[in-house]
Amino acid sequence: MNLENVVCGVCSGGKYETVYESAPGWLDADFTPSTDRYGQFGSVVRCRGCGHYYTNPRPAAEFLNSGYQSARDDAYIAESESRSINAYMSLSAIRRFAPPSGRLLEAGCFAGFFLNAARTQYEVEGLELCSWAADFAEKNLRLPVRRASMESAGLEAGRYDVIAMIDVLEHLQNPAAAIAECSRALKPGGILYLVTPDIKGFSARLLGKYWWGLRPSHIHYFHRASLSRLLAAHGFEVRLAKSFGKIFTCGYWLSRIKNYPPLIHRAAEKFIDAAGIHNKFLYIDTRDSLEVIAVKRN
Ligand SMILES: [Zn+2]
């Protein structure tokens, strides 16, 4: 496989120090959102210029693109109810800052659960590289989805009132280009909604190189300061930046820690089985995901 050295995705600086290192696991990497395979992320470095964290070196663009295009994730669909609740929580946060109607775009909409919630308020459009997920959104949820990335979509300038990228930025080869494109495609005063792992969040600091956020498909690791810097550079003003919790069934939460020490996993499994709550919803804020709302300056 071809690996390439890259510069910082926020400030384009080339000086860095290595923070975490693990065996690279890209050849059999799992590019699905609900992967439970953490670790094997290669080298994560910190930019000496701006403090942003990113994977360096990383696989070439063709390898990453084909990984996303050919992904399939049945476990994602199996959690459709909890993912829909998470979508409504995001929509409710957006509604506090955005106009009550208008055009909304989601880049990286995957199976379409957020767009399905958002269309109760907005005229929605989606972009998605994964064919399987885009097919699901079109056929099962009747959503308009184009097979394109934010950077390649050729969007009309000033078209949207809201753009959302939920758990997407950390996967992009050029997050700065995507944010620049968001700025171009939004109306002045338009709202950008982002959710991305926070490498300086509590759980990330606690778990260090064992943090579940470190995985082969993540090639950028933001924190409040690096994300704010990127947004400011493209004409955005941050209005909200907070920790983002999620709802899943207890069984799904349990599957997230399958590869952690057996003692922890077994204890949690015993408790969930004894309580009979495998299918019950549970909200947890693991304090390592960042929810950001930014407005495009006029
Ligand atoms: Zn930098």
How far apart (Å, rounded) are the C-alpha atoms in residues 148 and 137? 14
- How many angstroms does the Cα of residue 294 sit away from the middle of ligand 1? 20
Cα-to-centroid distance, 66 and ligand 1 (Å): 27
Ligand 1 centroid–CA 14 distance in Å is: 8
Contact partners, residue 298, CB within 8 Å, separation at least 6: 188, 189
Q: How far is the CA of 169 from the centre of ligand 1 (A)?
A: 15
CA–centroid distance, 46 to ligand 1, in Å, is: 8
pLDDT tops 80 at residue 117: yes
Q: Which residues pair with 283 in a beta bridge?
A: 247
Distance 129 CA to ligand 1 centre (A): 27
Per the CB < 8 A criterion, the answer to whether 88 and 113 are in contact is no
Phi, psi dihedral angles at 274 (to 5 degrees): -65, -40
Distance of alpha carbon 23 from alpha carbon 50, whole angstroms:
26
Going from the Cα of 186 to the center of ligand 1, the distance in angstroms, rounded, reads 25
CA–centroid distance, 12 to ligand 1, in Å, is 6
Confidence of residue 231 (pLDDT cuts 50, 70, 90): very high
Q: How confident is the model at residue 258 (pLDDT cuts 50, 70, 90)?
A: confident
Q: Report the percentage of the chain scoring pLDDT > 70.
A: 99
Higher pLDDT: 54 or 79? It is: 54
Residue range 24-41: mean pLDDT, rounded: 76
> What is the whole-number distance in angstroms between the Cα of residue 242 and the centre of ligand 1?
22
